[in-house]
């Protein structure tokens, strides 16, 4: 049996994705889930966005600003109630208002691809094919960069709950050092779902439509 040996060390995330001690992610999700369940809604998902190493500037004059006391994150919950779809924002300090989406494209993509979202994994940025050494070990040429934006997902339906995540660096490629997994990574339903999330989130943030209420 061949054994695999990576060139880089791979960080192992636990079910809470290696959150800091003061990270309120789990409590936010539980509280949100409880509120939706009370309305008879069981299907929703949450995406958490972090760029480790980035500097967040706290503005005392901005009511939406947050003294994060750790690595700053933003988190967005997406769900559908009747015919309308919504998004709600959270960060380290609490929740923001919910906003109605222009259509249900995102939620429909999520609900139609539950099994793929559960099983698909974004592969690492691999610059060369695997090679087998004289010792029978499989060597991988894996590239990494520090402080790249991370995406963490929590998915909920009436019958199942699961998580997934990826490093956005693994979705990129370079002409002189191409990523062998670039095409397959970007064709994943998980990545396509994230791309739509990014469009929605970035537009609402650009228009300053999220306001802190909690």
Within its chain, how far is the Cα of 157 from the centroid? 18
Identify whether the C-beta of residue 70 lies closer than 8 Å to the C-beta of residue 23.
yes
Domain assignment present for residue 125? The answer is no
Assign residue 40 a region: left if phi > 0, alpha if psi is -120 to 50, beta otherwise?
A: left
Distance CA 91, CA 64 (A): 10
Query: Which residues, including other chains, have CB under 8 Å from residue 194's CB and lie 6 or more apart?
Result: 47, 151, 153, 166
Domain assignment present for residue 180? The answer is no
Task: Quote the tokens at residue 94.
Answer: 């609490």
In total, how many domains does the chain have? 1
pLDDT of residue 201: 98
Domain assignment present for residue 124? The answer is no
Q: Which domain holds residue 109?
A: 10-118+146-171+192-206
Domain assignment present for residue 186? The answer is no
pLDDT of residue 62: 83
Task: Quote the tokens at residue 154.
Answer: 């929590």
pLDDT of residue 56: 74
pLDDT of residue 21: 57
Domain assignment present for residue 103? The answer is yes
- Angle subtended by helix axes 189-206 and 105-112, to nearest 10: 160
Select from 75, 76, 44 the least CA-distant residue to 161. 44
Domain assignment present for residue 182? The answer is no
Domain assignment present for residue 184? The answer is no
Domain assignment present for residue 131? The answer is no
Query: Which residues, including other chains, have CB under 8 Å from residue 23's CB and lie 6 or more apart?
Result: 16, 70, 73, 92
Averaged pLDDT in 10-residue chunks for the chain of 214 residues? 39 43 88 97 97 75 82 96 97 96 96 96 93 76 89 96 97 95 98 98 97 90
Assign residue 208 a region: left if phi > 0, alpha if psi is -120 to 50, beta otherwise?
A: left
pLDDT digits (tens, 9 = 90+) for 114-131: 999 999 999 999 999 878
Q: Please return the burial class of 114, using the count of CB atoms within 10 Å of its CB with bins 0-12, 13-18 and 19+.
A: middle
């Amino acid at each position: 049996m061949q054994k695999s040996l990576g060139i880089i060390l791979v960080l192992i995330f636990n079910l809470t994705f290696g959150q800091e001690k003061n990270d309120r992610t789990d409590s936010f999700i539980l509280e949100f889930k409880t509120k939706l369940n009370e309305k008879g809604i069981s299907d929703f998902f949450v995406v958490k966005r972090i760029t480790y190493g980035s500097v967040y500037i706290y503005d005392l004059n901005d009511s939406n600003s947050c003294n994060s006391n750790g690595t700053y994150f933003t988190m967005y919950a997406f769900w559908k109630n009747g015919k309308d779809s919504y998004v709600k924002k959270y960060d380290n300090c609490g929740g923001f208002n919910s906003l109605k989406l222009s259509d249900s494209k995102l939620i429909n993509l999520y609900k139609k691809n539950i099994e793929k979202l559960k099983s698909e994994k974004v592969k690492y940025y691999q610059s060369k094919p695997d090679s087998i050494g004289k010792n029978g070990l499989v060597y991988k040429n894996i590239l990494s960069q520090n402080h790249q934006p991370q995406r963490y997902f929590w998915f909920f339906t009436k019958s199942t709950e699961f998580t997934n995540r990826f490093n956005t660096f693994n979705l990129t490629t370079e002409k002189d050092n191409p990523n062998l997994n670039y095409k397959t990574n970007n064709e994943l339903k998980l990545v396509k779902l994230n791309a739509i999330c990014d469009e929605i989130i970035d537009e609402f943030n650009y228009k300053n439509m999220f306001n802190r209420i909690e």
